[in-house]
Structure 1
C-alpha cells in the first residue's frame, strides 16, 4: 500500500498500462488490416482455387463473406452501446419486412450490415494515419496484381480463369462470353478500343477485383481520399495511384466521378449537411422523372445510355417494392437506388443514410469527407449496385468511420482517451 502511493510507482504503473494498451491496439489494428485485405482478395483466392484445385460454388463465396463479416463483427465489439443499439434496431426492422416476403433473403441483411460494421471499426481508429497506412497497403496490393495482369496476361490467365470462376459461382452462364477464348470477365476486353491511351490495347485490367468496374471505383476512391487527406505524407502519389487505377481498367465512369469529386471537395464545408443529405434522394427523383417522361426504351452502353437504363429501372419500383416487401423484385442491379429501395425499403434506407450523414465527428474536416463520400455514392448508385460489394465497401466504410473519428488537434490524436467521451458513436 505504501509503495502504491509513491508518485514514481504510480507513474510506472501508468506507463505499463499505456504500453499494454498500445500493444493491444496494435494487435487489433493488424487484425483489421488482415480482414480488409481478405475482403479485397478472397474472390481472387477462390478463382485461383477454382482454376487449380477444386470446383467453386456460390456457397463458397457466401461462406467466405460470412467468415470475413463475422470476424469484423468480433473486431468491432466494445463497450459502445450505440453500435449494439443500431444493429439491434436494424436486424429487428429487417426481420419485420422479410417476414412479409415469401422467401428469406439473407443478402438484403448482408448488404447493409457491411456499412454498419466496418464504419464502427473505422471509428475505433486512434489516428487517421492508421487509415492512411491501410489504404497504402491496399493500393500497393491492388496495383501490383493489376500490373502483373496487364503485362503478363498469358501467365495470369493460366493461373486464374476468371470467366470460369463466375460461371462456377452462378453469376454468369457458359455462353455469356462474347470474346472467344478469353478467360477474363466479359467486360475485361474493350470492344471498339480504349477510351484512355488506345495504344495500351483492349485489355481492361481488373486486379484483385476480377472485373474492371470495381477497379475503376477503387481508383475513384483513392482520388476521394487524396482530396480529403491534405496533410497525408506523399499525398501526390495517391493521386498518381488513383490515375493508374482508372487507366488500367479504362474506367471512363471512374474518371467522371473523380472530376465531380474535385468540385465536391471545394464545396464540402460550404454547403449545409442537409443539402448533401438530400443529394441522393434528389438524384433518384430526377432519374424517376426522366424515366417516366422519356419514350425511349433502347439504350446504348455509354454514359447517357446507362443513365437512361437506370431511369427505366426505377419505373419497376412498385408500392410494395417501395416499402421493401415486394416478393418478386426484378433485376435491379444496374441501378443502385432502385436496388437499395427494393432490398431494405425506403424507410430503412433513409434511416441508415441519415445516421451516416449526421453522425457526430471530432474534426470539421469530416464534413468534407461526407461531401466527397455522398458525391461518390450518389454517382456510383446511378449505374450499378457494385458499391455494396464487400471487396470495396469494407475499405470505404472503414475510411468513413476513421474520418469521423479523426482528432481535432494533435493532442487528442496522441491521447485518444481524452476525446473518447466526446463522441457518442466512438
Structure 2
C-alpha cells in the first residue's frame, strides 16, 4: 500500500510540476514583451544610480530578450509559424550578403528587421486570453511613469538621468541636446514651441525615455483599441482611449496625433474594403509624395512634415543602382528622417517590396479584429516610414508585432463572421 501511495504521490507531483510549467509558458510571452518595452528604462536607472553602462550592455540585454522571445515561441511550435522562420532566414542571409559586399559588418541592420518575425512568433505563442490584460498592464505602467515625470520631475530626473544614459550607451554628445541643462532626451525640448500645450514645456517620454517612441506607442495603442474594443469591453476601451489622449499631449507628437486620427477614422471603413487591400498604403503614399513634390516644387530643409517628406524625395533621387540594391553605405547617415530611405539602403528596394508584401498579404482576415489591426498597422508603418526610422526600435516594435501575432493566431469570439458586425 505504501508503494502505491508513493507512486501516486510521485505521479501527482509530476502532474503538478507539469501544470506549473504550462502556466509559466503561457505567461512567459507577456513577461518577455513587458521586459522588451521597459528594459531601457531599467538600464537608465542603473546607469544613473548604480554604475555607468555602455552600449554593449544594451545590445546584450536586447539580444537576450530577443533570444528568449524566439526560444519561448519555438517551445509552442505550430506549423503556421513556419513562414516567420523563412522570413528570419532571408533577413539573415541578405545581411550576410550585404556585409560581404560592403566589407563592413553591421548586425544592426539584421536586428532591425529580425524583431518583426521574432515578436510575431511570440504573439502567436501567447494565449489570446492574456492579450488584453498584457496590453492593459503595460499601459498602466506607462501611465504611472508619465505621472511621475509630470508631477515629480526632480524624482524622475534622479531616477533616469536620460541625457547621461544616451551619452553613455548611444555615443550621443552633450552639445547635440537642445537644452544642455536638462536631464531629458535630445528632443524633449523643441527649438520651437510645443505642438500641443500640456503641463510643462518639456515633452514627456515615460518608460520609453524619448518622446518619439512614446508617440509611436500611442499610435499602436489606438490601433489596438479601435480594432479590439469588443474584446476589451467598454470600461477598458474608455480607459485606453482617454489615457492615450493624455499620453499624446504629454509627448507632443505631431506624427503620433496624425497617425492616431487616421487610424481611428479608417477603422470605421476597413472591414468593408476588399481583402488584403492594406497593401496599397505604402506604394500609394510614395506615389502621392513624389507627384506632389514634382507638381508643387516642394523643397527640403524644415523640420516639419513637409520638410521631412520632401527630404525623403530628394534623398531617393540621389540614390544610384547600388543604393537601391542595398549594397552601399554612402547615404545611411542621411536617412535619420526617412525610414523609407533607411530600409532601402540597408535592406534593398526588392527587400523592402518583399517585406511589405509579407506584412500586408501574409495575414489572416477571418475576423473584424484581424482586418482592422492589419490596416491600422500598415497605416502606422506607412506614415512612420515617410518621416523617421523610429518604428524599428524594440521598445515599440515588439508590442506592435506581438499584438499582430496574437490576433493572427486566434479567431476572436467577437469576430466569428466579419460581415455580421460593424
Question: The TM-score by the shorter chain falls in which range?
Answer: 0.7 to 0.9
Q: Distance in 2 between matches of 1:191 and 1:346?
A: 34
Partner SS for 2:366 = coil
Q: Distance in 1 between matches of 2:319 and 2:134?
A: 39
Native 8 Å contact 1:219 1:244 kept in 2: no
Superposition deviation, residue 29 in structure 1: 3.0
Structure 1 unmatched runs, 5+: 1-12, 413-426
Q: Distance in 2 between matches of 1:159 and 1:245?
A: 20
Partner SS for 1:347 = helix
Residues 254 and 274 of structure 1: is their aligned pair in 2 closer, same or farther, counting only changes over 3 Å?
same
Native 8 Å contact 2:271 2:372 kept in 1: yes
Aligned to 1:246: 248
Q: Distance in 1 between matches of 2:295 and 2:17?
A: 64
Aligned to 2:338: 335
Structure-to-structure mapping, 1:153-302, within 5 angstroms = 153-198=153-198, 200-231=199-230, 232-233=232-233, 234-290=236-292, 297-302=299-304
Aligned to 1:305: 307
Native 8 Å contact 1:73 1:117 kept in 2: yes
Partner SS for 1:175 = helix
Which of 356, 362, 386 is residue 382 of structure 1 equivalent to? 386
Structure 2 unmatched runs, 5+: 1-10, 417-422
Q: Distance in 1 between matches of 2:38 and 2:310?
A: 33
Native 8 Å contact 1:228 1:265 kept in 2: yes
Aligned to 2:131: 131
Aligned to 2:399: 395
Native 8 Å contact 2:391 2:397 kept in 1: yes
Native 8 Å contact 2:275 2:365 kept in 1: no
User: Is 1:346 the equivalent of 2:345?
Assistant: no
Higher mean alpha-carbon deviation, 76-85 vs 211-220, is at 76-85
Partner SS for 2:173 = coil
Aligned to 1:44: 41
Instruction: Give RMSD over aligned pairs.
Output: 2.5
Aligned to 2:118: 117
Superposition deviation, residue 141 in structure 1: 0.8
Q: Distance in 1 between matches of 2:392 and 2:110?
A: 11
1:401-420 deviation per Cα after TM superposition (whole angstroms, max 9, x unaligned) = 112123253799xxxxxxxx
Residues 307 and 86 of structure 1: is their aligned pair in 2 closer, same or farther, counting only changes over 3 Å?
closer
Partner SS for 1:324 = coil
Q: Distance in 1 between matches of 2:246 and 2:316?
A: 34
Q: Distance in 2 between matches of 1:163 and 1:402?
A: 35
Superposition deviation, residue 312 in structure 1: 2.7
Superposition deviation, residue 298 in structure 1: 4.7
Partner SS for 1:202 = coil
TM-score (norm: length of structure 1): 0.85
Aligned to 1:422: none
1:231-267 deviation per Cα after TM superposition (whole angstroms, max 9, x unaligned) = 1122111111211111111223211111101222122
Q: Distance in 2 between matches of 1:290 and 1:378?
A: 17
Higher mean alpha-carbon deviation, 353-362 vs 377-386, is at 353-362
Partner SS for 2:251 = coil
Which of 358, 362, 384 is residue 359 of structure 1 equivalent to? 362
Superposition deviation, residue 213 in structure 1: 0.8
Native 8 Å contact 2:73 2:122 kept in 1: yes
Which structure has the highest helix share of the two? Answer: 2
TM-score (norm: length of structure 2): 0.86
Residues 94 and 289 of structure 1: is their aligned pair in 2 closer, same or farther, counting only changes over 3 Å?
farther
User: Is 1:61 the equivalent of 2:46?
Assistant: no
Native 8 Å contact 2:222 2:260 kept in 1: yes
Higher mean alpha-carbon deviation, 278-287 vs 31-40, is at 278-287
Native 8 Å contact 2:30 2:126 kept in 1: no
